[in-house]
Chains A and B, each alone.
Chain A
Amino acid sequence: MFGRTVALCLWLAAMQLAAAEDDVETRLRAMQAQMEKLSQKVEAQQQTIDEQRRKMLEQQNVLTSLTTKAPIVSASDQVMQRLELAEKQSGEAIRIASRKKPNDLNMAIGAAIDTSFRAYDGSSSHTDRPAGSDFTVRGAELVCYADVDPYFKTYMVLNATPDLTNNDEAAPSLEEAAIYTTSLSYATIKGGRFFMPFGRLDMIHDHDLPFTTRPPSLDHYIGGESQGDGVQVAALIPIDHFLQITGGVFNKAGASFPIQPLGTRRDAEDLTYFTKALTSFDYGQDHTFEWGASSLQVPDPNTRRDLLNMEITYKWHPQGIGLRERLVWGTELMRNNLRSTMTIPSGDPSTPSTYTQVSKLGHGGYSYLEYFIDRNWSVGPRADLFENVDPNVLTHRNLEQTYTAFVSYKFSEFSRLRLEYDRHEYPDGKKANEAYLQWTVFWGAHTHNFDLR
């Protein structure tokens, strides 16, 4: 029994000893592996240190060569460098300061008010306003314009004019709303509602005219401004000489070209076709002649209209003898051939009137002179004659004549007083005197477009 116990103990001891020997060997191997890794790390670090030392030496060599070869930056050079920097920065600051501000993205807005007092000793049947004394706000206009994008510009004009049939209430109406191109070479396409450049003064708003009243011949043949809804192309011919050709198609032109009533069909022949050629000659620096020919045609044989216009403008703008002393002579001559319906009264109230198609041919025009004495004062006369082409006006003598004298005083570019006297001789032989005192102001955004030259 003792022997078996001793043998078991010896076996266990031998087993433990064997296990201990295995453990030591494993630990020794692990230690050896760690030592190898450590040695590798040390070797790598040594390589890094050697590399850094080499680089430092290289840099030291470079620095040494720089300090020995390159000139030392002097104090004046440093000042110059700082000045150049300051100049660059200030230039940039000026550029930024003069840059358009964010609110410049809004449209430009301008306005005009045109008021007048009128005295008229004729019959109310000859005019739109009552005879006698009359104060009127002739127009209150709001103009907005802006670039749309790199390709188009747009503008809109709202104008409120008094309506005598509604107790002189002045409701704003859309006078112009147009879009035009800005990116085409030598040409501009315009569309919407606008005043077509028929003749010289017909496209100009009332308050921008050189006189208070629109020439009666233009008023009779066109009917106010040459407003139309349509599209127009204006091209500047790329030659040495100024030659502008314009063509367009419109529903109508002005109030005297009646619009096709609602419910009727408008064919191409019922539209109004507009063409114009304008040229100009300079004689030295002081004299300019402009000559233009315009045509408005409605081809429909039943309501045919053929209105031709020839405009001549002479401008004398002497240089250096006094600011804005100048002279303008403007003339427009028209030939108006139209076919329309004439009412023939029966003479008996129980019998209805009869209608007939008539053709009427009329000639008319005006000529005026405006002499700008200085920056404040300008004076001039105007004569206007036209044959009345109203199919319902049958008189032995259908020539209407108006002789005008006007004097304007400009306080500045934006405010003006004007006195105008008109002597009328009507087709029925009656005569009348008319006088205006006009007070006009403009404010807000203001542009000088080519048409107002």
Chain B
Amino acid sequence: MKRTTFLLALVSVFAGLHAAAGASEQSGRKLKVIASIPDFADMAREIGGAHVEVESMANGTEDVHAVAVRPSLAAKLARADVLIEMGLENEHAWLPALVEVCSNQKIQPRHQGDIIASEGVVPKDVPVNVGRKEGEQHPAGNPHVNTGPDMGPLMAQNIAKGLIANAPEYKADFEANLAKYLEKIQAKEKEWKAAAAALKGVKFVSHHPDMAYLADFLGLEEVGTVEPKAGIPPSSSHTAALIEEMKTKGAKIIIREPQYSANLANEIAAKTGAKVAKLAVMVGGVPEAKTWIEMIDYNIKALLEAIKG
């Protein structure tokens, strides 16, 4: 009797699953988009317009490499039509586990619903030596592409391409929205380039090596990172060596990402005379960065404030 009940329960579960899956496909809803980080959620809203429902898994103040694996995220992924992720192993510590447990075939790796926003980027900091001795490396290169002011068009185009592939009926709208968004970015890029002149050659340190794309655009020079190796917590000996190096090389800015404690950055600043600039690494990292364009705006302004002293 117990066996029969057990088997019946299993069959009922499967029947229910298939019925629910079928119903969700037939109901003709808006395209459900889930983005790994809020930057892609913002871009998907800009491009998708009224045809998409967008949610972000991480929020702007989290460590993008260590987002809390909440079961509720698996439930959201299970219902998504499209997943937008950075790629370059940016989300490797938390997203693959959620994608696997959600069992949603649309968004499994390399399926049509899996959009890689960084596709086609020329990655920076591709490690020559790959090994755990070098910390928590990203063998394909620095994954913090979203911090680069000139990376917006590439990410937006990849997202638009992915949305069109998943909802070709809205192609015209997606393309029109993309064109408008690219215009906005291009107009801003001129402002950012003008601002970059004042920052060219300024030396800085950041907590984590997540500013490579921003530094490249602005002409900033990285002196080092508070972490001795990517993902390895700072030690006192490394901090002492970093302070000396900052003094020798004349580093003027300590970039403090929102997910890291301010104490150590302030301590280093006090010993070196450098200024602490709190920069967002994702949309929502600071209250002023509500969109990707606003985030870049804010970050450049914060750097300009820091060099003013």
Chain A residues near B (Cβ < 8 Å): 90-91, 94-95, 98, 182-188, 233, 235-245, 247, 249, 268-269, 273, 275, 278-282, 285, 288, 290, 297, 299, 315, 317, 319-324, 326, 374-376, 412-414, 443, 447-450, 452-453
Contacts and interface: CB of A to CB of B under 8 A. Distances in A.
Report, nearest first, the 7 A-B pairs whose CB atoms are least far apart.
A320-B61, A280-B71, A453-B69, A242-B75, A242-B71, A450-B101, A319-B61
A322 B140 CA distance: 27
Could you say which interface size class chain B belongs to? 35 or more
B165 interface: no
A320 B259 CA distance: 4
Contacts of A239: 20, 75
B14 interface: yes
Contacts of A443: 132
A413 B75 contact: no
B97 A238 contact: no
Given A95-B120, A185-B104, A235 B14 contact: yes
Contacts of B70: 280, 282, 288, 453
Contact of A238 (B21, B59, B72): B21
A370 B104 CA distance: 33
Contacts of B59: 285, 319
B66 A280 contact: no
A414 to B, nearest CB: 6
A330 B94 CA distance: 21
Nearest to B118: A98
Interface stretch (B2-10, B170-178, B236-244, B296-304): B2-10
Contacts, number: 150
Contact of B6 (A186, A275, A326, A376): A275
Interface of B: 2-3, 6, 9-10, 13-14, 16-17, 20-21, 24, 59, 61-63, 66, 68-72, 74-75, 78-79, 93-94, 96-98, 100-105, 108, 120-123, 132, 135-136, 140, 231-233, 258-261, 285
23 contacts: A94-B121, A185-B17, A185-B103, A186-B20, A186-B21, A186-B104, A233-B13, A235-B13, A235-B14, A238-B20, A239-B20, A241-B72, A247-B9, A249-B6, A273-B2, A273-B6, A280-B70, A280-B71, A374-B233, A412-B231, A414-B132, A448-B97, A449-B97
Nearest to B261: A322
Contacts of B123: 98
Nearest to B92: A448
A285 B97 CA distance: 19
Contacts of A245: 13
A324 B103 contact: no
A240 B233 CA distance: 37
Given A317-B68, A322-B261, A185 B21 contact: yes
B120 A91 contact: yes
B17 A187 contact: yes
Nearest to A443: B132
B10 A182 contact: no
Contacts of B75: 236, 239-243
Contacts of B285: 320
Contacts of A299: 2-3
Contact of B66 (A241, A281, A324): A324
Contacts of A98: 123, 140
A183 B100 CA distance: 10
B103 A94 contact: no
Nearest to A268: B3
Contacts of B10: 233, 247
Nearest to A324: B66
Of the listed residues A95, A237, A322, A453, the one surrounded by the most CB atoms of chain B closer than 10 A to its CB is A453
Contacts of B93: 448
A450 B68 CA distance: 11
A288 B68 contact: yes
B18 to A, nearest CB: 8
Contacts of B78: 186, 236, 238
A244 to B, nearest CB: 8
Contact of B14 (A187, A188, A414): A187
A97 to B, nearest CB: 9
